[in-house]
Structures are given as C-alpha cells and as structure tokens.
Amino acid sequence: MNVKKIVGYVLLLFVVVSFVELAIKKVRQASAGANEAAGEPAPHDLAAAALAENHVVACYAFTSSGRCESCDNYETWAKEAIDEHFAQAIKDGRLAWQTVDFDLPEGKRFDSEYELGRVPTLVLIAMRGRQRAEWKALHDGLMHAAMGSKAELKKYVQSEVRDYLEAK
C-alpha cells in the first residue's frame, strides 16, 4: 500500500467517526428536548425547575444501570410513598421527584457530591430560593428494601420527606 491510500483511508475513517459522533450528539439533544417538552427537567436543572421562590424539597432517586431487585424496590416503593402521601405538595410545586442514573455522564458528579458510594439512594434537598439549603441521603432506605419491608421503607421515606417539607 502506498502512502496516498493510507492517508485516504485515515481521512475516510475520520469522516465516518465524525458523523457517528454528530449523530450521537443529535440523539442526546433530541432526548433532552423531549424531556423538556414533557415538562421533565434535566437532572442538573431540577432545583431551578422546582419553582424556586419559596421552600421546595427536591427528591433525587439515585440509581445505576445494573440494578438488583432491592434497588428497584427502593426506588419504586419510595416513589409510591411520596406519590401517595404528598400529592398536594407535588401539585403545588413544593416537592419534586427526579430519578438520576449515576452511571450516565450527567449523573456521575452526584456520586461524590452526595456521598453515595455508588449505592442507590434517595437524597432529599431543601431548596430556599434557588440555593441548596441542606440535603440528606436516606441510606437506611436500601436496607428496608433489601429486607423486603415495604411498609417500613414507606414510613421512613414519608417521615423524612415530611420533616423536610415542614422545615422553614
């Protein structure tokens, strides 16, 4: 093979890779646009989207791509606990829920920021205005889920969310 052919193949490969990267970027942008159109904020934008003039509680359910049954139960049962007992707070914009996969690029920063240790966890974040006032990781929830204690998990989550909503 001569040098011209090698350079030609390298340039062709570069063009193909560039098109693939462009296509991936467009798909990600379309996906983010679909979330916005559906009224779902991007994870990094949840606090801003939570109507931030007053006290607002954001509930982040941090998960990973390779989840076990206990991890699935934790997220499902925690969401049920919140939906069942805080419907008015959700409707009023005082409480917001967001699931974040910390295996994805946009979720990686949260693992260290909220001291998750790559363990699925629910994190409550009290927002005052657009500022994060305080936060709490509900690490004990995964234990309840692992033990199959749906009622205990729901009670735990509801108590913690109630405390955050009532704090001024």
Give the pLDDT confidence of 77-99 residue by residue, as tens digits: 889 999 999 999 988 888 999 88
Q: Which residue's entry shows tokens 């994190």?
A: 123
136 burial type by CB count under 10 A (0-12 exposed, 13-18 middle, 19+ buried): middle
pLDDT at 161: 93
Separation in Å, CA 158 to CA 27, 42, 141, 142, 161: 37, 25, 11, 15, 5
Residue 62 confidence (pLDDT): 86
Question: What pLDDT digit, counting tens, does each position of 18-72 carry?
Answer: 555 655 666 566 655 554 554 444 444 444 444 445 678 889 888 887 777 877 8
How are beta strands 55-63 and 131-138 bridged, if at all? unpaired
Under DSSP, is residue 73 helix (H, G, I), strand (E, B) or coil? helix
Angle at the Cα of 140 (from 136 to 143), degrees rounded to 5? 150
Considering only 1-5, 41-45, 131-135, which range has the smallest mean pLDDT? 41-45
